[in-house]
Structure 1
Amino acid sequence: MRDPAQREAAGIRADWLDHACSTRPADRAAAETAISGLYRLIGRDRPRFHWVSSPLAALATLPPGVRGNGDPADHPVARELTSASLDLRLVSTGHVPAALDRLVSWEISRPLAATVERVLHPALRAADERRSRWRAPWYETLSPAWVAHLDALARLGGGPVDERLGLWRAAMRQTSWWWPRDGVCVITERPVTLHTEPAEAGALRLHADAGPAVRYADGWEVHAWHGTVVPRWVIDAPSVGHIEREPNIEVRRCAIERLGWGEYLDRAGLRLVATAADPGNPGSELRLYDYRPGSRVLLAVNGSLERDGTRRRYGLTVPGFLDDPVAAAAWSYGLPAAHYAQLARRT
């Protein structure tokens, strides 16, 4: 049973997740007031605000005089704000009890950071053509995880209440991505569609099995399958032809899962090598197929129930020298075939 502090922390986490994954229109006046306050703290005047509909629009159509030849997130104002945020973190956590800091980290900031990585960053990466450079310090500063951590410490009585924290908190809870410059600040509106599913340890990840996982008002969208960003065809029209032509192994795996391993194997016309009862999952069958040169696919049934009460069929790529489905299943677990055959039930 959770103690009162854990229950309160769980509530704070839910509150921040709601804001981080919100599709509500931004409160532009509140956002501009908060960001102007942050500009003031670093000795700069209130900027002119330029709102755009998506990260793609922000990076592709920054106003004249704003777009640079370098990283779009690397600018003196962004660096000054990042430095100010680091100072705030040092001051706010300097005298916090270690036990409370650990509680807030495990219950709030870590799940939120994982959610940002799996829900918000994919759209940003998809929008930035220079993907190898997208993870600038400014984008890390815009992660609400660190603000949520300090906010939770203050709300749980372990951290100071600071004007700077109030400004960062307001900015984080009213905006998505923004790019500060001297005299102008470009801000992205929130998406109009955002579909997620639970991941581990209280985090969320992008997923939609019909249509885009993320969609912005200008029509720009991102598709995702259980946390992996994929081309639109994977969700809307998976086919054996598309799968065979796809060079990315992760995209190919997602497309096969979307189509269904059994359906894929049937449509692809792969040769069935052998079948066997699954000793690790009584009542289920193992089916071994030829796949690519030097490899085969073992079709198995998950030993655990899905949320809808069904058991998912899934495929495992195994070496081509394996002719026995039981031996192939054992290989996937790193066990000798004789040991796997003695299992009462796998999970």
Structure 2
Amino acid sequence: MRDAVRTSPWAAERRRMHDALGPAGWAAHWNTTGARLWDTTRALAERIRTGVGDTLAGKPEEAEEIRPVLLDAVLGQHDAAWLVAFDGCGERLEGLAEVARHAGWWWPYENAVVICERPVALHRDEAGRLDRSDGPALAYADGFALYAWRGMPVPAEFLDELASLTPERIRGESNAELRRVMLEHYGYDRFLADSGAQPVHRDETGILWRIALADDEDVVTVEVVNSTPEPDGTSRTYWLRVPPTTRTAKEGVAWTFGLSSEAYEPVRQT
């Protein structure tokens, strides 16, 4: 039924608009409407599928059975990301659009429909990734929730620790990915100060710091001062994460611009 309800009407409307606008016109229309939303929404939908599968499946083979069911869902409100490209342009998609305004994912069958409520909470970062440090990034009324930090899934109990982190706790975390989340939340500058770290190099571009971590690559940052003062006359300091192979501050700053240290010779900094 999904093909009849969603796939076929979408294909017919897309073909009609493509014929009416021409290849270049359709591409321009899509780029200014659906394309702006669909990539991040599609990634969110995939994250939900993975989360539901992980929650329901007790064994890997069960996850393989659940996934096709999730792929067969009509995405409700998440279909709005591409429906916006057809808003007011055709009758075939009016039903889908109406459901998207009021419901979450749904499964149409010949004599029945399974329909989900929309989430009660959704938190994303500027890149559209699930992101929240003090609760679920995505939550539904029935209690299902996903926890994430800048797109990376994390256990719910992990977030409870973030407010009381110490350098010792960060260094003691055996999971390298969770340790990186801890560092980002704690702040590289604060970790450097609280760890008694020493700079390994300094030059006219900034100060290079290195944090050695067990069973993980070194965390290397360049401390730089914004050359443009703030309105109050102060200058903000930033810590730029650079590759662990970086040996000088200039090399690190140059890397952030996609240049080698030899090629990085700014005439003026703003």
TM-score, normalized by length of structure 1? Answer: 0.57
Q: Which of 187, 212, 215 is residue 260 of structure 1 equivalent to?
A: 187
SS at match of 2:104: coil
Q: Secondary structure, in 3 states, of the residue corresponding to 1:93?
A: helix
CA contact (8 A) 2:225 2:236 kept: no
What is the CA distance between 1:81 and its match in structure 2? 3.5
Counterpart for residue 318 of structure 1: 244
Query: What is the aligned partner in structure 2 of residue 300 from structure 1?
Result: 223
Q: 1:212, 1:223 within 8 Å by CA — same for their partners in 2?
A: yes
How much has 1:190 moved relative to structure 2?
Answer: 1.2
Of the three residues 135, 140, 151, the one matched with 2:87 is: 151
Which deviations, in whole Å up to 9, do the C-alpha atoms of 1:10-29 show, x marking residues without a partner?
xxxxxxxxxxxxxxxxxxxx
* Cα shift readout 1:266-296 (whole Å, capped 9, x = no counterpart): 45x37525242452xxxxx423214247745
Higher RCO (C-alpha under 8 Å, 6+ residues apart): 1
1:173 maps to which residue? 101
- Does residue 186 of structure 1 match 2:109? no
**1:88, CA displacement in angstroms?**
2.8
Pair 1:206 & 2:130 matched: yes
Do residues 81 (structure 1) and 81 (structure 2) align? no
SS in 2 for 1:297: strand
Per the alignment, residue 47 of structure 2 pairs with 122
Amino acid at match of 2:185: R
> Kindly tell me: are residues 286 and 169 of structure 1, through their superposed partners in 2, closer, same or farther at Cα, counting changes over 3 Å?
same
1:195 equivalenced with 2:123 (yes/no): yes
CA contact (8 A) 2:35 2:82 kept: no
User: Does the residue aligned with 2:175 lie in a helix, a strand or coil?
Assistant: coil
1:272 aligns with one of 178, 195, 198: 198
Letter in 2 for 1:219: G
Task: Tell whether the 8 Å contact from 2:208 to 2:248 is kept in structure 1 after alignment.
Answer: no
> How far is the alpha carbon of 1:330 from its aligned partner?
3.7
Matched residue SS, 1:313: strand
Percent identity for Structure 1 against Structure 2: 21
Contact in 2 for aligned 1:213/1:222 (Cα 8 Å): yes
- Number of residue pairs matched? 246
Tell me the distance in 1 between the aligned counterparts of 2:146 and 2:130.
Answer: 10
* Cα separation, partners in 2 of 1:82 and 1:343, compared to 1, 3 Å: same
Q: Deviations over 1:156-212 (max 9, x none)?
A: xxxxx32x311111122221111233433222211112223444xxxx443334322
- Separation (CA, whole Å) in 1 of partners of 2:94 and 2:227: 45
1:138 maps onto 2:62 in alignment: no
Structure 1 gaps of 5+ residues are: 1-76, 155-160, 280-284
Q: Is residue 212–residue 224 contact of structure 1 (8 Å, CA) maintained in 2?
A: yes
* Partner residue in 1 for 2:59: none
Sort the Cα spacing of 1:302 and 1:117 in 2 relative to 1 into closer, same or farther, 3 A.
Answer: farther
User: Which residue in the other structure is 1:16 paired with?
Assistant: none
Counterpart check, 1:327 vs 2:251: yes
Change in CA separation of 1:107 and 1:178 when aligned onto 2, cut-off 3 Å: same
Partner of 2:266: 343
Question: How far, CA to CA, are the matches of 1:133 and 1:300 in structure 2?
Answer: 48
**Structure 1 residue 124, shift from structure 2 partner:** 3.3
- Other structure's SS at 1:337 match: coil
